[in-house]
């Protein structure tokens, strides 16, 4: 890319109405590796570069929260060797990247049921979260052993415990109360969900949070998802009319 095209890209990015919260389903690592004549593990390792690019781009554009779907609760069904490599890769990324995140003022957190991970990995996750806990820049949430149904069920369990303890009555349960116990209650409402890899589904990811999010599906496989592709997704988001149950005329009047 020439300097002129870089400046043009920066100018286009600066003019975008940037979503406050973006979530990404990072799909296509295995297929990308197969296209290269490599095994699936090679694709997962190559996908780390796209994670770096997405974090960097989101931070540069002023995104407040970025949530990445790294490992679903259903991914345990994959071949044992692949799961083992993914755990090792998670540990490696934590070791290499957290200090860089901290240096750039990014707060790191993991959402999901981490109790199934090894004690060593759980300890590394807690250390990363603690190191970056006071950072006031972008919040990077990594969904690991996460499922949207689990998130809602876990929130319901926490609210039910409050009812049993007499803290609240069942009549006081509202959508707002339940949302306060979901995984991403501390970050802005989800604006945009991106899925790479060509599939048009959300695979049990952020079911509660995605209620009024915009969706962007691309055939680009995750290791090829770079700053240009990220910016393209935001450009499409900018062109959408978000009505939240209102008519288009009402939205235009309010604007």
Catalytic residues: 27, 75
* Half-sphere exposure at residue 241, Cβ-oriented, CA atoms within 13 angstroms: 12
CB 29 within 8 A of CB 223: yes
For residues 127, 180, 146, 48, the Cα torsion angle rounded to the nearest 10 degrees is -50
Report the run of H or E that residue 69 belongs to, with start and end.
strand 65-72
Q: What is the largest CA-CA distance in the chain?
A: 65
Rounded CA-CA distance 72/157 in Å is 20
Cα 170 from Cα 154, distance rounded (Å)? 17
φ and ψ of 203, to 5 deg = 50, 50
Q: How far apart are CA 164 and CA 142, in angstroms?
A: 32
Structure tokens at 142: 């990594």
Query: Across the beta sheet with 65-72, what order do the strands follow?
Result: 107-111, 139-146, 65-72, 21-25, 192-195, 214-217
């Amino acid at each position: 890319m020439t300097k002129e095209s870089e400046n043009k890209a920066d100018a286009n990015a600066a003019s975008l109405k940037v979503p406050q919260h973006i979530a990404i389903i990072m799909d296509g690592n295995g297929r990308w590796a197969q296209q290269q004549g490599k095994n699936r593990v090679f694709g997962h390792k190559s996908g780390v570069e796209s994670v770096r690019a997405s974090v960097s781009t989101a931070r540069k554009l002023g995104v407040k929260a970025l949530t990445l779907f790294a490992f679903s609760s259903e991914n345990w069904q994959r071949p044992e060797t692949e799961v083992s490599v993914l755990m090792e890769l998670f540990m490696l990324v934590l070791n290499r990247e957290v200090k860089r995140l901290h240096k750039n003022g990014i707060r790191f957190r993991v959402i999901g049921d981490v109790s199934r991970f090894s004690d060593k990995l759980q300890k590394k996750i807690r250390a990363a979260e603690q190191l970056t806990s006071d950072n006031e820049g972008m919040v990077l949430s990594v969904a690991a052993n996460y499922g949207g149904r689990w998130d809602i069920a876990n929130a319901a369990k926490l609210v039910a415990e409050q009812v049993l303890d007499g803290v609240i009555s069942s009549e006081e349960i509202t959508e707002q109360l339940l949302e306060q116990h979901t995984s991403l209650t501390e970050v802005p409402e989800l604006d945009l969900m991106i899925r790479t890899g060509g599939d048009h589904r959300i695979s049990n990811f952020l079911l509660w949070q995605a209620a009024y999010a915009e969706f962007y599906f691309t055939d680009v496989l995750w290791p090829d998802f770079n700053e240009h592709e990220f910016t393209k997704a935001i450009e499409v988001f900018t062109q959408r009319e978000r009505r939240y149950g209102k008519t288009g005329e009402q939205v235009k009047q309010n604007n």
